[in-house]
């Protein structure tokens, strides 16, 4: 059983056993344990006024968790610093209608939330998906879910991008890593809320000769050109692809003095214009043999000056 959440969004307590409909045991532990209530808020930056708030325990029960409380890959629940992170929101997007798209990593699902009522309009993947997912459209432990422009005039059609980790590390040494696929990937999915199907439009997979399976972090950015930039999170690499999934650029962050172990939460590619507030720096040095003078100039990051 689960105690009904109160309006004050703090730690929650739950009973010792939670089962899924198929009989799988999700939660077995002490009667008094800690659970993370994942919350999103929209605030007015100028006034600090709370415009919207949504809490996972008000809408999603812990039986939708992919990682059980034992052995503790998502927290063991024994204390507040090791609370069971059953949902774990890691990205939020908002559409022109005021609805929210949230990625729940530890439920392996993406939720569309009504900006008016907070109700869940649909779930994508996870244990309670609203959609039937086609070949290679499934994902797990994902990051960075984003709405993309609708290619049709049909409001029932939605396009989203995401980074599919397909792996989860262990927190505080509990249990072992969990893998649901041999590699991570970037994905673009087409959702149809008329027949409730979801299909893969394009996948972006590790370049040949690489094995990139990131247990945390990651992002997928669709560029204005149609190319796609995939950041491989804890693997410390990024790859740019053509729209058809062909790699055109690949790099690692851990070369040289940085050594191994470099990670990157998200990566983006944008045009950047440098307009420094400082004047150009100029240094003139006479050559040692007295044959002339060399002048060194730094534009301090100014990208608008060629010479």
What residue segments make up the domains of the chain, in order of their start? 17-270, 272-307
More confident residue, 261 or 248: 248
Nearest CA-CA partner of 54 in 17, 98, 1: 98
Residue 237 has pLDDT above 60, yes or no: yes
Which residue is listed with tokens 């851990």? 254
Identify the pLDDT of residue 155: 94
Give the mean model confidence (pLDDT) for residues 18-43.
72
Residue 98 has pLDDT above 50, yes or no: yes
- Are the CB atoms for 111 and 131 separated by under 8 Å? no
- Lowest mean pLDDT: which of 60-74, 100-114, 144-158, 176-190? 60-74
- Mean pLDDT, the chain, as a whole number? 88
Please give the full DSSP string across 10-64, using - where no structure is assigned.
Answer: --B-B-SEEE-TT--EEEES-SS--B---EEEEE-TTT--EEEEEEGGGT--GGG
Nearest CA-CA partner of 231 in 147, 171, 146, 134: 146
pLDDT band for position 9 (50/70/90)? very low
pLDDT band for position 141 (50/70/90)? very high
Identify the pLDDT of residue 15: 40
Identify the pLDDT of residue 10: 43
CA-to-CA separations, 208 to 204, 241, 275, 290, in angstroms, rounded:
12, 13, 40, 55
């Amino acid at each position: 059983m689960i105690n009904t959440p109160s309006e004050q969004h703090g730690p929650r307590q739950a009973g010792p056993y939670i089962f899924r409909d198929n009989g799988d045991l999700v939660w077995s532990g002490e009667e008094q344990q800690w659970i993370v209530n994942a919350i999103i808020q929209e605030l007015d930056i100028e006034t600090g006024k709370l415009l919207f708030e949504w809490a996972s325990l008000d809408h999603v029960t812990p039986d939708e968790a992919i990682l059980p409380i034992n052995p503790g890959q998502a927290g063991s629940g024994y204390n507040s610093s090791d609370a069971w992170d059953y949902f774990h929101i890691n990205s939020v997007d908002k559409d022109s209608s005021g609805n929210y798209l949230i990625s729940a990593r530890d439920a392996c699902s993406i939720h569309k939330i009504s900006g008016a009522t907070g109700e869940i309009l649909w779930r994508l993947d996870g244990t309670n998906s609203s959609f039937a997912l086609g070949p290679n459209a499934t994902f797990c432990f994902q990051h960075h879910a984003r709405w993309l422009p609708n290619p049709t005039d049909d409001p029932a059609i939605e396009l989203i991008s995401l980074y599919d980790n397909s792996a989860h590390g262990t927190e505080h040494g509990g249990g072992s890593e969990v893998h649901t696929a041999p590699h991570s990937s970037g994905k673009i999915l087409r959702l149809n809320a008329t027949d409730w199907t979801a299909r893969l439009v394009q996948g972006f997979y590790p370049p040949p000769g690489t094995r990139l399976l990131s247990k945390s972090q990651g992002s997928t950015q669709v560029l204005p050109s149609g190319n796609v930039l995939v950041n491989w999170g804890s693997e410390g690499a990024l790859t740019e692809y053509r729209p058809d999934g062909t790699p055109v650029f690949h790099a690692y962050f851990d070369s040289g003095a940085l050594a191994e172990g470099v990670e990157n939460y998200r990566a983006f590619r944008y045009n950047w214009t440098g307009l420094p507030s400082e004047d150009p720096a100029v240094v003139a040095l006479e050559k040692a043999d007295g044959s002339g003078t060399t002048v060194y100039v730094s534009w301090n990051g100014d990208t608008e000056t060629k010479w």
